[in-house]
Structures are given as C-alpha cells and as structure tokens.
Structure 1
Amino acid sequence: MATGACGISCDACRLQLLGMCSSCGSGRSEEAKNKTAAQLRLFGAACPVLVCAIEKRIAYCMRDCESFPCDKFRTGPYPFSEGFLSMQERRRREGSNRSPSGDLVKVSPRYWEDLARKDPKIICSDADVTLHPQSGILMPFLNEWFLVDAAGKSLYRECRGSWIRIEDQLIVLLSILYLLGANPRGLSNRPVSVKQLKCSHFFRGPHELNLNPLEMRFGEDLEGFKRAAEGLGGTPLPMADAAYMLKVFPKVPLYVLLWEQDEEFEARVSVLFDQSVEAHFAADAIWGLVNLVSRLMLTSVPLGSGTSH
C-alpha cells in the first residue's frame, strides 16, 4: 500500500479514487521525482506539497516536517480537513509535555515558592547561572538565554532584545527543578548510558526512554539530524555516524548519537549523560529532559507565547 509524501495512504485517499491525484511515493523516492517531472511536462506545474518535500529531502510531511501543517495543505485540494490540521497544530504544541504517569505537566506553585525562598547567590553558584542586573536569574538553555522570575512565577526567553514569556510547562518545570536541585558538583566529562545510572531501574517498562521517533525521523537523514542538533547549539563529536553534545543546562549536557540505517541494520539513536547528572536531576526529571530534547529536535515548536516582559 503506497503512501504519498503528504502522509496519506494512496489506496485510502478519495483524491486518487476521483483521479485528482496519483501515487507519488515518499519525497525522497525516485517515484516522486518522476511524478513532478511528468506534471511539469504535462501541466506546466507540479504539486507544491511534493515539490517542497523533495526540496527539503523529507519523506513524509506529516511525520517529518517541522512546519506541518503549512499553508500548502490549506490552499489546495489535499486530503486533510481543517479540523484535522487544527488538531495536529494543537497536539504538536502540547508536544511531550507529559509526566511519567501520562498526565499533562503542570508546574506546582510550591516549586516557584521554594525557588523564591532560596538564596539567589547560592543558586547562581551551584547552578552556574548569573543574576540579572535588574531582577531574576539569567540562565543559558541550549543556544538561548532564559530569565527566571521567581517572584513573578514566570520564565522568559530572550528574543531580539525582548523577553518573551515561555508557556511550555515542561521547559518551565525542568528549569525550576534544575535551579532547585543543582549542587556544587561540577561536570565529570565522562558520558554514561542510562543503564550506568544509579536510578537505571526507573527507566523500564512505561518509563523506558522513547527514542524511536528520532530513529524514524533521522534514520535515513543524517544531514537532517545534524541540522537539528546544530540548530539547538549542539557540538559535534567523533562518535557513531553522527553525534552531538547539547548543553541543555549549564551542568546538564546531553549526548545524542545516531547510527544510520543501512542494508544490514536498522537506524539506532542513543543518549548519554554526564556521570554527574544524578547530582542535579532526579530520575523523572532526566526522563522529561530526554523527551524535551527529542521533541525540540523533531519540531520547531515555539517556546514563547508572544507576551513580552
């Protein structure tokens, strides 16, 4: 059963039944290139969705594209309803904002209160962050800067000279937990796997790290993996087929390694942690950290809500 670059099974699509669209294969296939060439020859124009997928070297828009659903799906006779596209947008915004129990992440006011009571100088020393000249705490996060306003119970990101409030609850929660939990211990600069952590028993069953989405998305797209990691400020490492160190928080780096799919082996993604990670984060926060980084590599969900500070 063929699947088009749009992500729909061609055999289950009414547009093919009506003769309005024919099977094109993935955006990375020869079939897709042949179809656009035929469309240009016969009609003088090619399907904009298929052309875009080919140019971006994306197999399936719905699975692989950071911009899905884009305007191309709203302006043509494509097989997705407005309701479906709106649902995709909403659920992508929610992303992986779920706790290990499956509930949506909510930041308890108690965490903000605990942070407000803690001595800012101790926080800065332990977490390797700095005080803002006016108020709050400045903290690097990947390739960005955050402003933590404990008194106002808000987290902001710097954007073109303004501070934009972050509504992503997983990012807010992990940022607070880092500032509350970081201690004077520095980085060991020794990467370890999840199985080498003292809390390794936590990452079993429903709490197993889910790296399959990264494997599906980048298993045949090494350059896409590199762009995603470098877009988050990653530092390349001479490991696997491609590997990057992502400085999520000042004392909490994450190492992401990719082995490409080939004729013998399936694609594989692995994550490593600095040996000191458990000094700063509990097991459930480590689990959330991996989910967050995975989501940020897969999609360009904006962190800010548009409210400036």
Structure 2
Amino acid sequence: MCNIVNACSEAVRLFAQLAREPEGVVMRTGATFDRQRQLFELKYCGHIYLVDCQGNVSRPDSMEPVSYNDRTLILQYLCSASGLPPRGRWLSFLELPEGAHHYAPFQTDALEPLARTFDHKPAEFEQAARQLGGEPLTMGDAGARIPVLPKLPMAAILWSGDDEFPPRAGILYDAVAPTHLSTASLWVLGVELAYKLMAGIHPDHHPVDWLGR
C-alpha cells in the first residue's frame, strides 16, 4: 500500500486539473456542482462532503477536519470514477484485480475487527449501518447494503460465532468497483467502512493508515 500523504498530494494535483471542467466530473461520479460557490457536493458513507476546485474537502455537519484517508478516497473517486452504474452483483476482496496480494492485511485490518466487534450484536450492527445510510441485506446473520459513494455500493455481512467456529465478517463490493478505484484504494475503502461501522458503537475506533499501522 502507498504512503497516504503522497497519495493525497497526487489526488489533489490531479483533481485540480480535472475540476476545470466540472461537468465532466459530475457526469462520471454522480456528484453535483454549485457553480456559484464553485463547490462539488457528494455523499460518502451517509454524509455530505463539499470539495472545492483546489481539492480541499470539508463536511458541513462536523467541525472536525476530514481525515487523510477520507479526503484521499473522495478525491480519487472524483478523479477516476468511470461513470458506470452499479451492476447489482457482489465481489469479495479476493475477486478484485490483484486482490489476493492484499487479502491478508485486509482480513487483519478490516474483517477480523469487524467480526469481533459485532459478534452476537445484530441490532447494534444494523444501527451502525443505518448511520452510514445502510439498508438491511438478507445475507449472513446480519447484513447491510451501504451506498459508500454515489455509484459504488458496498455490503457488510456478519456471521456470529459459536462453540465450534469464531465469528466471521465479509465486506463486498459492487462489481463495478474496479472501474471506479484501484484495488489499493478499494482496500483502504473497505478498511474505512469497517472502522466507520465499529465507530457507530465504539467512537474511539480509528482506521489504519495506508502504511498498515
């Protein structure tokens, strides 16, 4: 995985070029553009974010600065989204291009913490998913479809543990995902989704950075 500061700087540089033609960005991404205020607006994990033409990202309902991870992911999506709609078919991380190379850290950083946090807590999981704009999904013991980005839904699924098997979790991507973001970015997006869900009941949860700390 790449250094997040470098990734963010590169995303800012590229977005500042593309933002000169906002109509193209809007058509590809599902964002909107306020010409008077010169601001793009899009929903990310259930919240509205504003992006100016220099690549600065803010969240109107929060005084906290937007994290490097979130800013980078939002800008990368605005830069590289293909414009294609969701396909209604799910892919696991292993099914993404080169996904097998990054699956071990994905399991450690996203799936295992998610499974432990919500083991035998379906109601808490459903509440956390709703905070991100999620809707129930009939998969596993508990599941939710979450519109993470305008044209990129994802799913989170839980299986409770028992005497024989530990709890398990799954994070799935709509099959359109590789046309919008690289596998490295989708790795970070999956980890971010897991930690945003966990923060719904444990606000002290913080995601790993792009170096995998």
Q: Which category of TM-score, normalised to the shorter sequence, fits these structures?
A: 0.7 to 0.9
In the alignment, the residues of structure 1 paired with residue 96 and residue 43 of structure 2 have an alpha-carbon distance, to the nearest angstrom, of: 25
Residue 168, structure 1, aligned to residue 67, structure 2: yes
Counterpart of 1:218 in structure 2: which amino acid? F
Cα gap change, 1:209 to 1:280, in 2 (>3 Å): farther
The equivalent of 2:12 in structure 1 is 112
**3-state SS, counterpart of residue 177 of structure 1:** helix
Q: TM-score normalized by structure 2? A: 0.84
Supply the RMSD in Å over aligned alpha carbons.
Answer: 2.2
Residue identity opposite 1:126 in structure 2: R
Counterparts of 2:152 and 2:101, CA distance in 1: 19
Runs (5+) with no aligned partner, structure 1 = 1-99, 303-309
Q: Distance in 1 between matches of 2:8 and 2:70?
A: 13
Change (3 A) 1:164 1:139: farther
- 1:129 maps to which of 21, 31, 43: 31
Cα offsets for 1:171-217 (capped at 9, x unmatched) = 00000000011012221111121222233233244455631111111
Is 1:154 aligned to 2:53, yes or no?
Answer: no
1: distance between equivalents of 2:143 and 2:66?
Answer: 30
Check if 1:291 corresponds to 2:191.
yes
| Structure-to-structure mapping, 1:1-309, within 5 angstroms | 100=1, 105-106=4-5, 107-118=7-18, 119-132=21-34, 133-151=36-54, 153-159=55-61, 164=63, 166-206=65-105, 208=107, 210=109, 211-299=111-199, 300=203
- Contact 1:136–1:150 (8 Å) recurs in 2: yes
> Retained in 2: the 8 A contact 1:186–1:276?
yes
The 3 A distance-change label for structure 1 pair 240 and 204 is closer
TM superposition shift of 1:108:
3.9
Q: Is the 8 A contact 1:136 1:149 kept in 2?
A: yes
- Bigger CA radius of gyration: 1
Q: CA deviation at 1:137?
A: 0.4
- Render the CA deviation track for 1:6-41: whole Å, top value 9, x for unaligned: xxxxxxxxxxxxxxxxxxxxxxxxxxxxxxxxxxxx
SS at match of 2:136: strand
TM-score, reference length from structure 1: 0.59
Sequence identity percentage: 23
Deviation at 1:264, TM superposition (A): 3.4
In the comparison of the two structures, how many residue pairs are matched? 198
**Contact 1:259/1:267 (<8 A) preserved:** yes
Return the letter of the residue paired with 1:232: L
Counterparts of 1:165 and 1:225, CA distance in 2: 24
Q: What SS does the corresponding residue of 2:59 show, helix, strand or coil? A: strand
For residues 147 and 108 of structure 2, the distance between their equivalents in structure 1, rounded to whole angstroms, comes to 19
Secondary structure of 2:60's counterpart equals strand
Once residues 228 and 184 of structure 1 are traced to their aligned partners in structure 2, the CA distance between those partners, rounded to angstroms, is 29
Q: Identify if the C-alpha distance between structure 1 residues 205 and 298 changes in structure 2 by more than 3 Å, giving closer, same or farther.
A: closer
| Shift, 1:134, TM fit | 1.6
After TM superposition, the runs of 4+ consecutive aligned structure 1 residues lying more than 6 A away are none
